[in-house]
Structure 1
Amino acid sequence: MNAPTLSPGRLAALGRSELTLLVRNRATLSVAVLMPASMVFVLRTIVGGDGAADAARATLTGGIGMVLLLVVYMNLVSAYVARREELVLKRLRTGEAGDLEILAGTALPAAVIALVQIAALAVAGAAVLGAPMPRNPALVLAGVLAALPLLAGMAALTSAFTRSVETAGLTTLPLFLVSALGSGLFADPDALPATVASVCELLPLSGVMALVRAGWSGGTGAYELLGAAITTLAWITVTVFAVQRWFRWEPRR
């Protein structure tokens, strides 16, 4: 990769171009905008709790995880693969934009859409589901912001093993299922057997979801929060290294 630089002007231009392509692709736009909302309704029927407030809180934290996975991760895998196969990435790389700017610019619209949807979820949760507002909003925001580079990197890495946009649904399925079942989106990790829970704590999205849950409900000790932060940072570091090593800028042959 080229030297990692970030020019706000070039980043904004790349982001606008990607947003234009996203708006033109109605199927992808529908998945990015409508699918998370529908999944929250599904979560509402699945998630249980000791009371209405607990169930509403679990629904919203699970909904945040679904937005991150669907809008950032799965949508970006398709975007990176499409731009690669259309030689867009190769052409961009011959210009002034650096590798990091190209990848970040492609991810920018998805990140903004995810942040807007998460904010809307918090407001709608309080208004419709009767969920309490986060006890520590800064901790929720920290978890969400940490998830953006993590999942964007995961998307770039997954795209290296994805031959076409049509197969993106298959290559993204493993991380989606593992995160949904093991990182606490659908079920409380504390309800799992101790050995299984210990393994699930090390999954890519587990640290992020631990921060989000702690920010929403409170009651989490500093040791657990530190562990969640270290896990997330470790995964970001590993992902960045893997993207530098294996990301493909030219079409697969």
Structure 2
Amino acid sequence: MTTKTLASTSPAGGRPLPPPARSFSPRRVAVLARAELRLLVRNRTALFNALAMPPLTVVLFAAVGGIDAGTSAATGVMMVNLLVFMSLAFVVYYNLTVTYVARREELVLKRYLVGECSRVEILAGGAVPAFAVALAQTVLGIVAVSLVLEPPAFVNPLLVVVAVVGGAVMLTALAAATSGLSRTVESAQLTTLPLLIVAIPFGGLFGAPGASSGLFSTIGTFTPLRPITDLMLLGSAGIGDGGQVLTLGETFAAAAVPVAVLAGWTLLGALAARRWMRWEPRR
């Protein structure tokens, strides 16, 4: 004889009840993050290269660029923007896509799902090392620029934080979605190319703000990586889209469009990750 418990069946007709919703737990995320961080720390060569890259880039650029006192401030702003942009694009988006694919193929994600962790917690825990490296690169880059060139004025530091943190969250969602389109770790090198190839030329890294206009400039405003550049320029130097220097209050108004674009791509990335991400290898 079999029995049915109230916990496993509904009162109406004996249909199984869905599993109870699991609230987000920072403790579980911290446990997953520690496991990923241990793997990162063990590869000391890769970790050293990642952290040494921003200072070395600044020093080499200053050594070969022939920078004089009149252009030191502008070059410093450009270098900080470049380092943050490349760190988020490659350390967060590219590396995290590869990490999610590798953990899926090793059945790590599948084992996590069997436990107490929710999918959001699994993604967040795996993203912590990439966040940590990107943040460390940002801080080391700013320190190097301040010592070698001239520190940015940081007209609105809050917008710098929004650019770094918001950009990392957006690219984490896009990395999760892209990992679902990648059959192997090797193929992830190809599936990440469309965003990088399309977004980097429109990212606002090349040329002064306001130097371009027309259709391509409008398209670039709504590409995934462009809000990071716009917010960094507004926050670090108060430079608006047209190249004009803004006050603190004006930077908040000018940040409305980049923040909206950043939020929009974050939402699209989350929806795409929910639709495409795979949690076990394809059979």
What's the TM-score once normalised by structure 2's chain length?
0.80
Corresponding position: 1:185 with 2:205: yes
219-228 or 109-118: which moved more?
A: 219-228
Letter of the 1:120 partner, please give it.
L
Letter of the 2:261 partner, please give it.
T
Matched residue SS, 2:280: coil
Corresponding position: 1:22 with 2:40: yes
How far 1:19 moved relative to its partner? Answer: 1.2
Distance 1:34 1:177 in 2: 25
The runs of at least 4 consecutive aligned structure 1 residues that moved more than 6 Å come to: 41-46
Corresponding position: 1:248 with 2:268: no
1:57 corresponds to? 77
How far 1:39 moved relative to its partner? Answer: 5.7
Letter of the 2:88 partner, please give it.
L
Unpaired runs of 5+ in structure 2?
1-18, 239-244
2:28 corresponds to? 10
Work out which of the residue numbers 220, 227, 232 in structure 1 matches 2:257.
227
| 1:98-155 superposed Cα distances (whole Å, 9 cap, x missing partner) | 0000000000111012112111111211111223341221211121111111011111
Corresponding position: 1:136 with 2:156: yes
Q: Which has the larger radius of gyration?
A: 2
Aligned residues: 251
How far 1:170 moved relative to its partner? Answer: 2.0
| 1:63-105 superposed Cα distances (whole Å, 9 cap, x missing partner) | 1101111211111011100000000000000000000000000
How far 1:33 moved relative to its partner? Answer: 3.7
Contact 1:18 1:109 in 2 (8 A): yes
1:92 corresponds to? 112
Letter of the 1:240 partner, please give it.
A
Q: What RMSD, in angstroms, separates the aligned Cα atoms of the two structures?
A: 2.6
What's the TM-score once normalised by structure 1's chain length?
0.88
Once the two structures are superposed, the pairs formed by residues 71-86 of structure 1 within 5 Å of their partners are 71-86=91-106
Unpaired runs of 5+ in structure 1?
none
1:67 corresponds to? 87
How far 1:182 moved relative to its partner? Answer: 0.8
Matched residue SS, 1:181: coil
Matched residue SS, 2:38: helix
Contact 2:50 2:137 in 1 (8 A): no
How far 1:244 moved relative to its partner? Answer: 0.9
Distance 1:238 1:97 in 2: 23
Corresponding position: 1:213 with 2:224: no
How far 1:205 moved relative to its partner? Answer: 1.6
Identity of aligned residues (%): 39
